Structure 1
């Protein structure tokens, strides 16, 4: 009788072990399927992120072109910049959590101050726009960040217009002296 109980016990243990192995195999297969689906989802999100990045680049480029064009055509005047300067100063408060370097933030502030006094060179205006663009990319969910970008774009357009006019006056003055 003991032998029969031992045999039945062994058979029961083997049956339980087989059940556990079967469930483990089934779970492993299901987890593999889930993992494969997550990999597909990750790939889709990567493609979506790439599309949004292209869209962001297109929007930024369009906005810069439009603002520069309007500034050069005199639709946006240099006197209008006070409103944008105030907005830009407000957005600088966001800088505490910004991954921009302290040097970049300080340079952005410096260019903002210089732009208020019309003291930017064309090269500085270009760098100001680059920094504002980086700021807008970081804080694109905040309208103030885009206002800073608009202001920097206007500033660059007006600085380039001012320097082109200055160069033109110098050429005219030189031509008049030669006559």
Structure 2
């Protein structure tokens, strides 16, 4: 089957730790949205102009969690990013997020990949890191994979673009559930 640009079957499922925005509340209690932080958001936000998109990312605020809970089908429109651009937050509990992000992803994987963690002299992987790997990093990646699987059930021909070291193990779970899915993994490291 051939599809045209803009056809819903051409949908991209973009997966990253941070999404294009995060929600909050102003001093009057109104919902606000602010651009997500980080270079990856800057680099990939242009995709919304050329293809239908669902951006799967971790909920970063309490209001992100509220937005996700309010989303009837699991996805919500992303304000200011086109009419066919949606988000889906992964609701990681605080401990899972902390172990995933603050113990494994940033202090370990980021440094290893930038040659800043001196493995030859200090291979300092203790019980803390092993527990964080098992109960944080792997759990978070499975939860991301479940969110992607929910999208693939609706659009099995979508292209899944996973980004960065936060999500190294998610593709295995996605592939197990969707053997024919088109998975693309990109690491934003020089």
TM-score (norm 1): 0.24
Larger % of helix: which?
1
